[in-house]
Structure 1
Amino acid sequence: MVLWQTPALVMIIGYLLGSIPFGIILTRIAGVGDLRQIGSGNIGATNVLRTGRKGLAAATLLLDGAKGAVAVFLGWRLMGGDALANGGAMAGLMAFLGHCYPVWLRFAGGKGVATMLGVVAALHWPVGLVFAGTWVGMLALTRISSVGGMAAAASAPVAAVALGRLDLFAPMLAMALVVLWRHRANMGRLVKGIEPRVGAKTSREPESSGAETA
C-alpha cells in the first residue's frame, strides 16, 4: 500500500479539512469581528446568525456540512475500491472531530451537527435525509436549536440500523455521542427551562455553554 493510500494519511487529511473554521473566516472577511467574542463564542452557524448576517450564517452551515462530505469522498478515493464504509467513514469521522476540536483554536470548536450531517449524507444519503428531516422538524417544533441538533444526531445511528447499514452504525454512534457530549451544558439549561430559543438575544457566554448546535 503506497503512502497516499494509508489510513493514517486519510485520517490526517480528514481532520485538517474538518478543522477549517469557516464561521470565523467568513465573519472576519465580512468585517464582523472575531466570532469568538460574539454571542456564545461558538464557531458554528447559529452563532454567526447572532451577528445579524443571515447570508453568512447560511454559508457557514453549508461549508461546515460540505467539509464533512468532501472528507468522506476523499477518504473513499484514497483508500480505493469499495472502501466507502471504512476509508470514507474514517475520513468523515476525523473531519467531524476536526470541527469539534480544531488544533488551530486550542481544540475549542463547534458542536458538530452541520459537519455530521455532511458526513452522514455522503456515507448514505437516506440516513442523511432522516438526519436533516429530524433536525428541521424538531427545530420547527421547539424553536430550540440544541434540541433539533441533538435529536438529529441521535437519529443517525438508529436510521443506519433501520436501513440495513450496520457497517455505518459505529461511526454514526460515535459522532452522535460526541454531539451529545458537546451539548451537555445545553441539556442542563433545558432541564432548568432556560435554554434560549432561535432568534432570542443572549449575553456573551463561554464556548462550553453555547446555545448553538452547528
Structure 2
Amino acid sequence: MTALTLLMILTGYLLGSISSAVLVCKLWRLPDPRHSGSGNPGATNVYRLGGKVPAFVTLSLDVLKGMVPVWGSYFLGLEPFFLGLVAVAACLGHIFPLYFNFRGGKAVATALGAMFPVAWEMALLLIATWLVVFRVSRISSLAALITVSLAPFYAFWIKPQYTVPVIMISVLIFWRHQANIARLSSGSESSFRHRR
C-alpha cells in the first residue's frame, strides 16, 4: 500500500467525519439530531425535526462526502480494491466522526455517494431498490436494510472487483441498524405512513 493510498484513505475518513446533520441543524436552528427525534444524525431524522429542505441538504452533503474522496482517488489511479477501502473509510468516518465525539449516523447516503464514481449503474439500482421498498413499506430503515442486503449481489453482477468492499460496507450498515432491526422485529419501528 502506497503513501498516496494511505493519504486518500485518511482523507476519506476525515471527510466522512463531517456530520452534515449536526451542521445543518445548527444552521437551521433545529435541535441537535443526536439528542432529538430518533437520536440518529442522518437525513431521515433531520426530516423529522425540520422538514424537507434541511433533510435534502443533509442528504446531499452526506452523499458528497462519500463521493468526493472516491472520485479523487479514482482520478489519482488507485486500484479498485483500494478505491473500495477509501469508500469504507468515508463510511467509518460517518459512523465514528472524529470531530463529533465519534457519535455518527448509519452511513447509508455516504455509502451510496461512494459508489457513484466507480459504479454509477449499481448506485442507481440501489436508489431504485430503496425507493420501491420505501414506497411500499414507508419505513426508511427497512428500505435501507433490504437495499444493503442486495448491494453485494448487485456489485458481483455489475462490478465484481468491488464486491469485497461492498460487503464490508453492508456489514457496517447492518451493524449500525441493530436497534432498528430489533424494532422491526417487534413491530414498533416508526414509519412515514401517516406523515405529510
**TM superposition score category, shorter chain reference:** over 0.9
Against the structure 1 CA distance between its residues 167 and 47, is the aligned structure 2 distance closer, same or farther, given a 3 Å change threshold? same
Alpha carbons 1:117, 1:128 under 8 Å: kept: yes
**Length, aligned pairs only:** 195
Q: 2: distance between equivalents of 1:84 and 1:58?
A: 32
- In 1, the alpha carbon distance for the partners of 2:19 and 2:105 equals 9
Q: CA 1:20/1:200 → structure 2, altered by over 3 Å: closer, same or farther?
A: farther
TM-score, normalised relative to structure 1: 0.85
User: Which residue is equivalent to 1:127?
Assistant: 122
Instruction: Indicate yes or no: 2:131 matched with 1:136.
Output: yes
Counterpart contact for 2:43–2:55, Cα < 8 Å: yes
- What per-residue deviation string (whole Å, max 9, x for no partner) do you get for residues 62-98 of structure 1? 1101110111012223xx33x3513422222111110
**Aligned mates of 2:193, 2:59 — CA distance in 1:** 16
Alignment-mate amino acid for residue 106 of structure 1: N
Q: Which one of 161, 166, 169 corresponds to residue 175 of structure 1?
A: 169
1:182 offset after TM fit, Å? 0.7
Structure 1 gaps, min length 5 = 202-214
Distance 1:199 1:35 in 2: 21
| Superposition pairs of residues 1-214 of structure 1, within 5 angstroms | 3=3, 5=4, 7-77=5-75, 80-81=76-77, 83-163=78-158, 165-198=159-192
TM-score (norm 2): 0.92
**1:108–1:153 distance in 2 versus 1, CA, 3 Å:** same
Runs of 4+ in 1 over 6 A off after TM superposition: none
Q: Where do 5+ consecutive residues of structure 2 fail to align? A: none
TM-superposed deviation, 1:51 = 1.3
* Whole-angstrom CA distance in 2 between matches of 1:25 and 1:199: 28
Q: 1:170 to 1:65 in 2, by over 3 A?
A: same
State the identity as a percent. Answer: 35
Distance 1:115 1:2, change over 3 A: closer
User: In 1, are the aligned partners of 2:20 and 2:61 still within 8 Å (CA)?
Assistant: yes
Q: From the superposition, tell whether residues 170 and 2 of structure 1 become closer, same or farther in structure 2 (CA, over 3 Å).
A: closer
Is the 8 Å Cα contact of residues 74 and 88 (structure 1) preserved in structure 2? Answer: no
Q: Do the aligned partners of 1:42 and 1:109 also contact (CA within 8 Å) in 2? A: yes
Secondary structure of the structure 2 residue equivalent to 1:122: coil
Residue 211 of structure 1 corresponds to none
Shift of 1:123: 2.0
Q: Which has the higher contact order (CA 8 A, sep 6+)?
A: 1
